[in-house]
Amino acid sequence: MKAGGTVTDVLVVGGGPSGVALAAEVAARNLTVRVVAPHAPQPFPATYGAWLDDLPEWARGSVAHAWSDVRVHAGRAVTPLLRPYALLENAQLLSALLGRAEPGGLWWDVGRVVGAQRDAGVWRVHSEGGRSWRARVVVDASGHGGTLRRVAFRRGAALQTAYGLVGRFRVPPSAPGAMVWMDYRHPHLPGGAFGAAPSFLYAMHLGGDVYFVEETSLVARPALSVEALRARLRARLEAQGTPCAEVLSTEVCAFPMNAPAPDAGGGLLAFGAAGGLVQPVSGFQVAGALADAPLVADALAAHLPFGPDAASRAGWAALWPAARRETRAVQLLGVEALLGLPGAHLPAFFEAFFALPAAQWRAFLAPRTPAGELARIMLRLFARAPMRVRAPLARAACTAPGVSARALARAALPILGA
């Protein structure tokens, strides 16, 4: 870290992987950049998984574990996904990100940002303790909900919640040597409880007798509580005859899955979860942020000579072009469809989903798949789904506003032969 100057080109609020990724890419383009976070540089605390082929080549050196045996349990038989999955080693990822900021490096100040104001083309960012910093461009990368930019949810936030642990097991809680992306079997729950609030097991064998196991509610409004998920995980492990012998660490998460494409006005940029980058069907965003960071950094570097406003507009255009905004509208249609689907039918939905050709379900989970292609995949999924799943999916499509319905209509034409 280097010592600060008077006015930096870019100030990034937040020290998570998305914020550090953008700060590092900006620094690599010979702009001055400062990170302001509540803590000094430290390994990221959350567990981050990603499809291996979604990670930039340079980030693959930060993979702690990778699995070629990746499974889904949504129907009577296990579904192999045939797509390698990776767990990131967070200390190595931080080191790799900071290394990308060289040779110029970046400034890192500890502070909890509470506000920002603009005066004569320069932002002044304020912290809880009374410190302030000046910058030409400010990026809110402070995580879900944001600090300087707030997200407005059209129908209220729909959350993914989870409770997980890393532990030692005398009997394996999931297939040894494998990664279980989604297991909707529920021998530990009465059918009514599962139908009212479905959850699944997400599990990774970390070697020897150590496993990561997590009970996850994919998306719900209102959310399933972390306390309920903790109890469900314990009940699942007991019902399987695989209780945890020793808990090494625990983890909880709760974040919105239905953030709309952000309003690009106001002069402030946002990135990562604060910038709406959470993929609305999977909940992933780190691999996407690693891919998006160079695009935004290029835009800032190219347009900052023309002024902060030009740079901010270019940053938003790189992150949220019109095509991606259309994609998000269709993705949100998918979220509303999942929310409207009776919980008991969710396993059947995902059984049909992963029965699609691999290229199609991969595109559906990607962050930038064009809206028309995404909508065509949704229509093909609708055609494959059992009748009990189709009605709520159709209701969601019929109530979808604006661009979602238009995209579905456009997508239907080649399928219907028009």
Q: What CATH number is associated with residue 139?
A: 3.50.50.60
Residues 251 and 367 in one domain: no
Residues 50 and 106 in one domain: yes
- Taking residues 354-375, what's their average pLDDT? 95
4: confidence class by pLDDT, cuts 50, 70, 90:
very low
DSSP 265: -
Query: Is the residue at 76 inside a domain?
Result: no
Domain boundary among 256, 285, 305: 256
* CA–CA dist 173, 237 (Å, integer): 7
Residue 402, pLDDT > 60, answer: no
Residue 303, pLDDT > 70, answer: yes
Residues 362 and 392 in one domain: yes
* CA–CA dist 145, 364 (Å, integer): 25
3: confidence class by pLDDT, cuts 50, 70, 90:
very low
Query: Is the residue at 72 inside a domain?
Result: no
Residues 147 and 272 in one domain: yes
What pairing do the DSSP bridges indicate for beta strands 122-127 and 113-119? antiparallel
Query: Is the residue at 82 inside a domain?
Result: no
Residues 33 and 173 in one domain: no
Residues 19 and 168 in one domain: no
Residues 144 and 293 in one domain: yes
Task: Read off the pLDDT of residues 64-106 as tens digits, 9 standing for 90 and up.
Answer: 999 999 999 998 899 999 999 999 999 999 999 999 998 778 9
Query: Tokens for 221?
Result: 């409004």
Q: How far is CA 147 from CA 129, 138, 169, 253, 395, in A?
A: 16, 12, 40, 18, 35
Residues 137 and 276 in one domain: yes
Task: Read off the pLDDT of residues 185-207 as tens digits, 9 standing for 90 and up.
Answer: 998 988 788 989 999 999 999 99
- CB-based contacts of 267: which residues, under 8 Å, 6+ apart? 118, 123, 138, 308, 309, 312
Residues 128 and 28 in one domain: yes
Query: Tokens for 156?
Result: 């209220």
Residues 184 and 147 in one domain: no
CA atoms within 13 A on the CB side of 294: 7
Residue 385, pLDDT > 70, answer: yes
* CA–CA dist 153, 388 (Å, integer): 29
The CATH number of the domain holding residue 219 is: 3.30.70
Task: Read off the pLDDT of residues 229-248 as tens digits, 9 standing for 90 and up.
Answer: 999 999 999 999 999 999 99
Show the domain range for 114.
Answer: 7-63+87-151+260-320
The count of domains in the chain is 3
